[in-house]
Amino acid sequence: MWRLEPRPAPSRAWTWGSPLLALALTVLIGVALFTALGKDPVRGLLVFFWEPIKSGYALGELSVKATPLLLIALGLAVCFRSNVWNIGAEGQFIVGAIAAGGVALLADKDSGRWIVGAVLLAGVLGGMAWAAVTAFLRDRFNAGEILVSLMLVYVAIQWLGYLVYGPWKDPAGYNFPQTRSFEAVAQVPRLLNGSRAHIGVLIALAGAALLWVYLFRTRSGFAQQVGGLAPAAARYAGFSSRRALWTALLVSGGTAGLAGALEVAGPLRQLTPHVPAGYGFAAIIVAFVGRLHPFGMVLAAILMSMFYIGGELAQSRLGLPKSLTGVFQGLLLFALLACDVLVNHRLRRRGGSH
């Protein structure tokens, strides 16, 4: 009865309507899932969509989750718009956390407040250095950045494990694999007393504004996108595709490393094996749900952080596994991929008029 007909041009309305339809489908499937598990679907939806925003403290926790997701997604947007497929932001996040933690462990009670800047800078440089490995292998040997960046995630996890189980292990930590807690001067300032919300949320929002200016208001941002999407056209215009590659990966690695630094110097306050929280992979969904646009990614990061918090609450209040977070993330991604068909195609009744 129906068929898909290619559109003469992509639909601008469905470009932004598709994520909303995907969210609606995710909610409907979620209702069916809660019902199949014998849980009240209304209560389940409240856990995911109301509990994370119902109070000032809840909003603070929401910002703690949204900050790393947004920062990483901003860097990934530069990569994806440049046709550079960095799938290893999780590894850059971890190495940024390691580098920041190493500087934070050097601080003592006599250190000045400037040490926070050094901690964050170390995180940025650590993430950039890890992304530079992928950039070098792609640039020098034409190695696929998807596989290289992804495999480096597991190298970073092993490196973190070695440090917290070995030389950086807290001797007074009752044999737990963790470093000692960072001194107060090495922790990022919090925005409000009684809340874990910290200045990272302001940094992330400022990063979104800067990315908008860079991508849509500067010549270098335009050259960055052209250099990745059409290397031949970029060379003809005098743009460097090689520069686009390095810029995309270094920016992406830097933002992921900054997210890692803010995570360990903010809510965690130490290095543990639990630093890898999957933010680097979830941020890929954030980037695409947000249409690789800074404003869209702000909204997508908030939505994804609601899934994180909802999954934790579903475990404690509904007796459901925490992995439900990943289920909702996957549902949203697959629903988006399905709905994106409507961007380039329209539904037509067979035999209908054109």
- Cβ-proximal residues to 123 (8 Å cutoff; 6+ apart), any chain: 96, 97, 99, 100, 257, 258, 259, 260, 261, 262, 265
* Amino acid 2: pLDDT: 82
CA dihedral 195, 200, 206, 210 (to 10 degrees): -160
Beta strands in the chain (DSSP E): 2-6, 345-349
Rounded alpha-carbon distances, angstroms, from residue 275 to 119, 162, 172, 187, 267: 16, 13, 20, 16, 11
Q: Rounded CA gap, 272 and 276, in Å?
A: 9
What are the backbone dihedrals phi and psi of residue 296, each rounded to the nearest 5 degrees, phi first?
A: -60, -35
Query: How many Cα atoms occupy the beta-carbon half-sphere of 183 within 13 Å?
Result: 18
Q: Which of 124, 97, 116, 108 is nearest to 270 (CA)?
A: 97
- pLDDT of res. 352: 54
This prediction's pTM = 0.94
Q: Residue 265 and residue 293: Cα distance in Å, rounded? A: 28
Give the helix/strand (H/E) hosting 82: none
In this structure, the dihedral spanned by the alpha carbons of residues 223, 344, 340 and 19, taken in order and rounded to 10 degrees, is 70
CA 42, CA 343: separation in Å to the nearest integer?
32
The answer to whether residues 115 and 142 touch, using CB atoms and an 8 Å cutoff, is no
How confident is the model at residue 234, as a pLDDT?
75
The structural domains of the chain, with segments of one domain joined by +, span 71-291
Residue 321 CA to residue 312 CA, distance in Å, equals 8
| Token couple for 95 | 């190495």
Residues 6+ positions from 132 with CB-CB distance below 8 Å: 246, 249, 250, 253
Instruction: Render each residue's pLDDT in the chain as its tens digit; 354 residues.
Output: 788 899 999 999 999 999 999 999 999 999 999 999 999 999 999 999 999 999 999 999 999 999 999 999 999 999 999 999 999 999 999 999 999 999 999 999 888 999 999 999 999 999 999 999 999 999 999 999 999 999 999 999 999 999 999 999 999 999 999 999 999 999 999 998 889 999 999 999 999 999 999 999 999 999 888 876 777 777 777 788 888 899 999 999 999 999 999 999 999 999 999 999 999 999 999 999 999 999 999 999 999 999 999 999 998 888 988 888 899 999 999 999 999 999 999 988 876 554
Please give the sequence-ordered ranges of beta strands (E in DSSP) within 98-248, or none if there are none: none
CA–CA separation, 211 vs 191, rounded Å? Answer: 24
Three-state SS for 168? coil
Rounded to whole angstroms, how far apart are CA atoms 15 and 61?
30
Q: Which SS3 state, helix, strand or coil, does residue 5 take?
A: strand
Q: What is the dihedral of CA 127, 133, 138, 143, to 10 degrees?
A: -120
Q: Which two tokens stand for residue 346?
A: 């329209």
Residue whose pair of structure tokens reads 């920016």 in the numeric block = 251
| Residue 292, φ and ψ in degrees, nearest 5 | 55, 25
Question: How many beta carbons lie within 10 A of that of residue 49, not counting itself?
Answer: 15
Q: Tell me what pLDDT residue 354 has.
A: 47
